[in-house]
């Protein structure tokens, strides 16, 4: 059974899950840019506060009642931005990332509004993934700023 649930960022358990995904995502991205991600643990403290204070929405992906990934979105200037998406390593390549992206686009009342995505410019696998949905301009992102 697959389920997508909106996370409550005021709930510590939900926020901890988002932070766990962000941490694993930073570890994953460190292979593309080790210098950029070397301080991800320290930056994580400010990132937690940042996501709580901004209008992000996060959704968890559950497979057989086990949380296996998340997706983070924000609406800015009438555009839906997919800023973060992470699927745990053992669940990649099985369509769960696609499920999350389609869920966001089709089920959250953003139909007809522009949708844009961001991905690390060296993460060719993710860029290819987003382009498979028809996103032609995958904007480069630098999620760790000092």
Per residue in 70-116, pLDDT tens?
A: 998 988 888 888 888 889 889 999 999 999 999 988 887 666 778 88
Residues 55, 136: Cα–Cα separation, whole Å: 26
Sequence ranges of the domains in the chain:
2-140
Distance, first Cα to last Cα, the chain: 40
| Helix, strand, or coil (residue 77) | coil
pLDDT in tens, 24-54: 877 776 676 666 666 665 666 677 777 777 7
CATH topology of domain 2-140: Aminopeptidase (3.40.630)
Tell me the average pLDDT across 58-75. 92
Strands 66-76 and 2-6: unpaired
- 140 pLDDT exceeds 80? no
- 143 pLDDT exceeds 50? no
């Amino acid at each position: 059974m697959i389920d997508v649930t909106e996370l409550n960022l005021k709930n510590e358990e939900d926020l901890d899950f988002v932070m766990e995904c962000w941490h694993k995502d930073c570890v994953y991205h460190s292979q593309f840019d080790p210098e950029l991600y070397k301080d991800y643990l320290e930056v994580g403290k400010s990132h937690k506060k940042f996501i709580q204070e901004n209008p992000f929405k996060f959704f968890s992906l559950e497979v057989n009642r086990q949380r296996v990934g998340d997706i983070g979105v924000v609406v800015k200037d009438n555009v839906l931005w997919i800023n973060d998406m992470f699927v745990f390593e053992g669940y990649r390549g099985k369509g769960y990332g696609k499920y999350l992206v389609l869920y966001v686009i089709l089920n959250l009342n953003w139909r007809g509004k522009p949708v844009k995505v961001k991905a690390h410019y060296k993460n060719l696998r993710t860029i290819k993934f987003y382009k498979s949905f028809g996103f032609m301009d995958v904007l480069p992102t630098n999620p760790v700023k000092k």
